[in-house]
Structure 1
Amino acid sequence: MPDHHPLTTALFALAALPSLSLAAPAKVDFNTQVKPILEAACTHCHGAEKDKGDFRLHTKEDMIKGNENGPGLTAGDLKKSAIYSTLILPHDDDLVMPPAKEGLLDASQIEVIKAWIEQGAEWPAGVTLEVKPRIDFVKHIQPILEQNCVSCHNPEKDKGGWILSSKKEAFETGDNAPNITAFDLKSAIVHLTTLPEDDDDLMPPAKSGGPLKKEEIAMLKGWVEQGAVWPEGVTLKAKEKGAAPTNNPDTLELVKKIHAKIVATSQEKAEADMKSYDAKVPKTGAPYSMVALKSGEFMIGSPDSEANRADDEGPQVKVQIKPFWIGKYEVTWDEYEPFQLTAEGRNKDGSRKVWSPDDKPEDLISQPTPPYQPMDFGMGRNGFPAICMTQHAANKYCQWLSAQTGHFYRLPTEAEWEYAARAGTTTAYFFGDDAKDLGEYAWYFENAPNFQYSLVGKKKPNPWGLYDIYGNVCEWTLDQYSEDTYKNWAANAAKGVLGNQWVPSKTPYPHVARGGTYDDDAEFLRSASRRASEPAWKQQDPQLPKSIWYLTDATWLGFRIVRPLEIPTVEEMFAAWNNGVARE
């Protein structure tokens, strides 16, 4: 028996197959509906350059002609239109078109072809089909949506009322639904991605990683043009976007240059040389003050008898502290904002998009990308504590200040912070065990005006001259948080291991913040009270991955700086300024 051509075989099979139906179909437009499907799925094998099966369909004449086995298209007659009959063969049939290995057409696309033929197969004069790339939802579109859109358009956060997690929701929800219309490039999912970068309606917004790349926009356009096929059962989840290499100059080599400057600049060689001092940030003139603290030892944590004690505050363990300077005040917006807001274009990791190896070290340090909104949240800037920065951002500020001044600044270790807060005392607060006098020294829940932070330095200092060490905003330390920190230190002490201890970071969360906030009750302002950071501190951040610079929900978190007398090695400096895992 001679072999039958696929077109002939399909014609015999057609009568035995269930027919797809489209009730009262709307008029099908060839140019906007049929043409994109054929150009993406058919013409690469049956077009001007290739005539597989001796069949071309790039012109109306060629499609009607078919081949020796019969016509490819007969207006109004599905059984005499191989262009349709081959589409509805079983998926495992060797004759089905397009071949299963290339991906069958979706039922919605087949319905368009069917309705077009039944309506007379109108083909505008002079229109010739080209070859266009075929867009596959799972391969091409799903990654774009999951990496750029779903984090803001999901059941938990349906910005604009639009949910992208499932096909039904994606096509039907939204304040201006539908946001996706098959074959219509006016669909919001395409239109809003092509707006200017400074347009407020751009999707995704520039502050959330927009605009999309040209090739991503082209994929979305092609997908909608070809019918916006979304396979049944495919659901979307927010995914991280792979970061592109940035050739960041903020490396160990840069730290070597900063280290050399610090070694050449620092004059104090011994503890006796240390004096408190006032200074200004060289690049901006913003003032800051440092208080000199002598070396010593103390019992970190709280005794079992202390009221409101938490389990992670013990057991108490003796810690030795080397001499250091510490900020008299929390770092203010006057100091921090010029570091946060810069005119240079920056990559996600904070590196400058345009830079030269000859730039000053302080200009090559990674700095924050533009914030989503003013990060003081309307609570005040001049003289108020800077807030909402990640520990990574605070570390980089310390590096930026160090490169300018020639002094090594970093965050305090948890042990240094408590040593400075206690100021030689052993009671719950540096003024005693009773919280009745707390309002003289701290802004907290009972006295914070308008339930927000206040100007620094307006309350009494602790015995060592430090202001707002309790309350106002809690303060970053360098340590990774563990509820077993002191237990581990006690075990080391039993082995004779003491020192200026701290816990280097291995994960992005949690880290330790200290001192309590304007929104806390008195018990959380005790010298021993510890707070562990968590992802919820940046829950409102619309980006994916979340920003490495901002904690959008931690409007009560800031920091103060320290400067140890002992200059560490290059590697130790690098570890302090790049502590933890910046990427989440």
Structure 2
Amino acid sequence: MSLFNKFFFSISLFSIATWCSVFLSCTNDSALGDDGTVLPPVDTTTVEPPDTIAGIVCSPDTIHFEWEVLPILKSSCGRRDCHDAGAASSGVKLVNYQTVMLTGGIKPFMPEETRIYKQITHDDEEERMPPPPYDRLTERQVQIIAAWINQGAQNIRCDSSTIPCDADSVSFSADIVPLVKDACYGCHNQYVHESGIELLTYDDLKTAALNGSLVGTVAGETGYVRMPFGSIPLPACHVEKIRAWVERGALEN
């Protein structure tokens, strides 16, 4: 082996060894205990813990971020031209719990000091969020966000199938309209028509109900892309209410 080849071979081995040591140190970080012993390594490559919510009963007195707060934020503010992961207007990303807490100016237990809450309740039409021409959040939506902050702005997770569900008396105005407003409005409003679809009026929703696409998408049935797109599935009770409304003729009640 020539002198040049020996030198190149040595450098290559050193580079590989260095890369391996860095990679392993990132994957499993060991630390020393108070007595100097090496503690078990921590796997820092795991971003999210495994989903262990199956069977965990949901409390009816708790506001659940993932299916009560986040859908409102994503639908009204987290659109791709405002506060999604790509646009992140003013540095605010309303994509998931982590980004909301990091960029939304959340002050647990203090709605009036929370940036998001102050923006959605601002008196000035030029300052409030979402901005004109989009509608203000409804009073119900504002109250949900305020209640979540007052409860500590936590991401309490549980099995949505454990939520008591009464689909026997489902109505268009009391049940379907709020569900669609929270989960679908951001992509299917008078200004944004994803896939050419608007879900604003009773006729819009009746059409989607009768052609099967409303239930098919929210339930993730074969042949349909699950909606809301890019979000967690709707709670089982929400899907059950939509299905019940459709099966009873999609009445404007």
Task: Tell me which interval the TM-score lies in, with the shorter structure as reference length.
Answer: 0.3 to 0.5
Higher helix share: 2
User: Which of the pair has more CA radius of gyration?
Assistant: 1
For normalisation by structure 2, the TM-score amounts to 0.43
TM-score between both structures, scaled by the size of structure 1: 0.20
